[in-house]
Amino acid sequence: MNIKMSYRNDEIKELYKSAGIQTEDSAGFDLITAEDISFSKIGEFKLVDLGVIIKVPKDHHSLLMPRSSTFKKHQVLQANSVGLIDEDYCGAKDFWKMPLVYFGEGTKIIPKGTRLCQLVLQKTTKITEVEDFVPTDDSRGGFGSTGV
Residue among 25, 86, 88, 132 flagged as catalytic = 86
Rounded Cα gap, residues 89 and 86, in angstroms: 6
Query: Which one, of 36, 117, 112, 32, lies nearest residue 76 by Cα?
Result: 117
Query: Which one, of 77, 59, 60, 61, lies nearest residue 117 by Cα?
Result: 77
Q: Determine whether 25 is an active site residue.
A: no
Just list the catalytic residues: 86
